[in-house]
Structure 1
């Protein structure tokens, strides 16, 4: 007889569980004179009893209690109660063995390990009387019952369309609720429970409502029970969360699978996109220590244009008119800014100023740009396959784009050696090309571009690199996200050439901050011209392009 029962991944345990969140020795069940006790001995997944996390030790545990460890649910029995076998009748009459003062031998019976549609469900499902009236607990139990039904009916989900799968799954959920969960507590909304189970089974779980919420601009899943959102430029914690880590991983797989991408332990990071074009980055264990993590940069359902930038207070009319002229007249522009400053959105708006007659090739890691021009080719990079082959990088695509007879090349973001190829394209007949880069200011952008060119591995002298940049880049448009959440174009800067080995910059417009704490909590300031007129204005005037020079007039100082 055993007085202790180890639970974990290690083979020395009497109960062996699988999963990245399960420790080698995750928990210990002890049989004592006054009953069965469970101790948490370490591991990422919490040990819960009836939905409540235990701190160190809890007991005595009865056979009706549900013990949850990671994606598994267990019931603990004593062989003095059932002669060494797992009994499903919790109300059996006590036998003579129960009067033995010796401590009973613990026997852990798995009740409901989490499953996916391709796995078998558990052999025993806890009854509704055992569960606390908590929506997440109920969601997990109904989902497990749904998986069991799909497995028993041998539903081939791959042969169904999205609409058919949703309809069939919704019907199965209703059948499960009618048959097994007819006595739901009044605190649980059956309609809401059915929707949450449906979303988690075939959709993105609790993220579905956040994606449908137009006020949410960014979704950040730090862990299955910790989701943050950005709304109106401010970050706040969302009240919704996933049932467990496996539910998060399933949502990630549903995002990346249609794109032909993969995520697993050998390739734990992935960039992808949703159907509406929203950008997704996911990372899973063993890299992510707290469980699978998802970051979603949402795209506005309404297609933004230059007037929207003006309406949001991100730019003024003179700056917008100048940028439209610069794009139309084939000036090479680099959009810069920090993370979340709106570079890609601004690039998309500027790209739509390109005339319809031009042939455009767009190149991105994960397709986000939505251009309206008819003569458009959109290219997307590809990661390596399972054998580590087949990778297509941004640099490969930029090189290939030069053979596609483009008038303009638009690169979603330059991050490395492709910057050199982009500069070469700008210098060899592909004027009017656009790209973005991370930087904190226009001057910092030049330094960043220099470093990225060196990443191409060509070992070029710095003087040559700077000459390439000065001759290729015409303008830098810098956008900043302020602490209040507002995003503004703070600099429109012209690259005027190189002198004494230093690239010369000239601000044409800038945003002058008056106060960081306006009446509504937003930053206050004015968009102003510096008084400098771009050097290429004379060239445009010679070509007959009408220019309103009044937009470059410096405002009078306030005294």
Structure 2
């Protein structure tokens, strides 16, 4: 026997093992990365999806998806093996099809895309996403209205919620923290709608805000002192201005040993301190299930001896209890609110929320007095046409005017024409005193108007 003949089986075995190792490497690589299919891959995937959809059309609607997972994956793998493509492309197509059929349909790729922050399905054939703060249409569509409603039911069932004619609206939180709102006819007569606000896995820091041009260093320094000095803060802004993200950043400056209770409609805050108790509103889905609203949770929190209460967004009469808590020992509490300006927040939005309590009867002056006692700082956020979000005002609440209106002093502003942040020259003496009462020094030069422009340019 020649040397070449004796070594051939060994050589073949080595080559086979090398090939298998390479396949395993590709499987692990494709499995761990976000697959953005090429046009060719997407075309192949579409063809495979049609075959799988036809093969399992009835099962996908009537059976539990968990029971179908294994047979569908086997069928997908078998179809992809027939394709005349490389092994890596085959696995990319297989993953794409799997996400589409077993995941969340055509929106799965956007759920996996870290650059997409929000997905809005306006109709089964009209989908837009928010990327880098700007809304843009996408070419992806659902196959039909039935397909969209099937995916919606699949999404909400995973978090033990239901949507049907009797309950045509659903708000839910996914396992990763993303917020979901969905509707079906008859409340949305043109077809089902679906909105998913993705949960950011990495919280922004104060330095990130400065780097992105959302505030300058002087503003961050002052806000840091306000949190550490236990001032009560409201973050105000319109929809999509980043109020919760800002609240999350501010909360990172809370002392490690403070006892904190957070209250949210949907859990979004990611506090890192060790003494955090989280509460979440519960909607009633059956006659026997009690609804637990913000007001109930604020009252419960007050009985649990928190140092600070953080209310994710005040949207009902719980404002009365929160303001009372802020002025009676729970210093350093924070919340967000929908308002267009600090003045709009104080004179319009908060009084409207007070009016939600039909058993309460507060005059405008009484409400203003309560706000003056409870709130020290308002952080106003705005969203700009280019998708950026900025702090447009940091304002001090400084008692009442003779007219009974709240005295609001802007400390920092954003000049939209010059595109710069600047101090107004107003020195928030009441806030400074409160901060210093906690043993924290304050550099008052940050409030000077003539700070060099290069220091404050966005």
Normalising by structure 2, report the TM-score: 0.81
- The equivalent residue for 1:65 is none
Q: For 2:95 and 2:218, how far apart are their aligned partners in 1? A: 49
More moved, 288-297 vs 324-333: 288-297
The equivalent position to 2:432 in structure 1, one of 529, 537, 549, is 537
Q: For 1:201 and 1:250, how far apart are their aligned partners in 2? A: 11
Q: For 1:135 and 1:226, how far apart are their aligned partners in 2? A: 21
Deviations 1:170-195 (Å, cap 9, x if unpaired)?
Answer: 113334678xxx699xxxx9766644
* 8 Å contact from structure 2 (residues 263, 297) kept in 1: yes
* 8 Å contact from structure 1 (residues 146, 176) kept in 2: no
Gaps of 5+ in 2: 1-42, 454-458
* 8 Å contact from structure 1 (residues 407, 431) kept in 2: yes
Alignment of 1:283-302 (within 5 A): 283-302=183-202
Q: For 1:150 and 1:305, how far apart are their aligned partners in 2? A: 43
Would you say 1:509 and 2:419 are equivalent positions? Answer: no
How many Å apart are 1:346 and its aligned residue? Answer: 0.4
Q: For 1:204 and 1:254, how far apart are their aligned partners in 2? A: 8
Q: Given the superposition, is the C-alpha separation of residues 546 and 482 from structure 1 closer, same or farther in structure 2, using an over 3 Å criterion?
A: same
How many Å apart are 1:252 and its aligned residue? Answer: 2.3
Alignment of 1:70-85 (within 5 A): none
Deviations 1:91-115 (Å, cap 9, x if unpaired)?
Answer: xxxxxxxxxxxxxxxxxxxxxxxxx
- The equivalent residue for 2:9 is none
Q: Given the superposition, is the C-alpha separation of residues 530 and 143 from structure 1 closer, same or farther in structure 2, using an over 3 Å criterion?
A: same
- The equivalent residue for 2:53 is 143
- The equivalent residue for 2:218 is 318
Deviations 1:116-159 (Å, cap 9, x if unpaired)?
Answer: xxxxxxxxxxxxxxxxx8965763452231355789xx98655x
Q: For 1:245 and 1:194, how far apart are their aligned partners in 2? A: 25
Deviations 1:178-227 (Å, cap 9, x if unpaired)?
Answer: 8xxx699xxxx976664454224331112221122122222111111211
Would you say 1:344 and 2:244 are equivalent positions? Answer: yes
Q: Tell me the SS of whatever aligns to 1:476.
A: strand
How many Å apart are 1:320 and its aligned residue? Answer: 0.5
The equivalent position to 1:169 in structure 2, one of 67, 72, 75, is 72
Q: For 1:207 and 1:280, how far apart are their aligned partners in 2? A: 13
Q: Given the superposition, is the C-alpha separation of residues 494 and 460 from structure 1 closer, same or farther in structure 2, using an over 3 Å criterion?
A: same
Q: Which structure features the higher share of strand residues?
A: 1
* 8 Å contact from structure 2 (residues 123, 193) kept in 1: yes
Would you say 1:449 and 2:350 are equivalent positions? Answer: yes
The equivalent position to 2:269 in structure 1, one of 360, 369, 377, is 369
Structure with the greater alpha carbon radius of gyration: 1
Q: For 2:438 and 2:260, how far apart are their aligned partners in 1? A: 23
* 8 Å contact from structure 1 (residues 255, 273) kept in 2: no
Q: For 2:158 and 2:212, how far apart are their aligned partners in 1? A: 35
- The equivalent residue for 1:439 is 339
Q: For 1:259 and 1:156, how far apart are their aligned partners in 2? A: 14
How many Å apart are 1:539 and its aligned residue? Answer: 3.7
Gaps of 5+ in 1: 1-132, 516-524
* 8 Å contact from structure 2 (residues 263, 311) kept in 1: yes
Alignment of 1:378-393 (within 5 A): 378-387=278-287, 389-393=289-293
Q: For 2:289 and 2:64, how far apart are their aligned partners in 1? A: 31
Q: For 1:542 and 1:278, how far apart are their aligned partners in 2? A: 40
- The equivalent residue for 2:164 is 264
Q: Tell me the SS of whatever aligns to 1:271.
A: strand
The equivalent position to 2:254 in structure 1, one of 330, 354, 357, is 354
Q: Relative contact order (alpha carbons < 8 A, sep ≥ 6): 1 or 2 greater? A: 2
Q: Output the aligned Cα RMSD.
A: 2.8
More moved, 166-175 vs 267-276: 166-175
How many Å apart are 1:507 and its aligned residue? Answer: 0.5
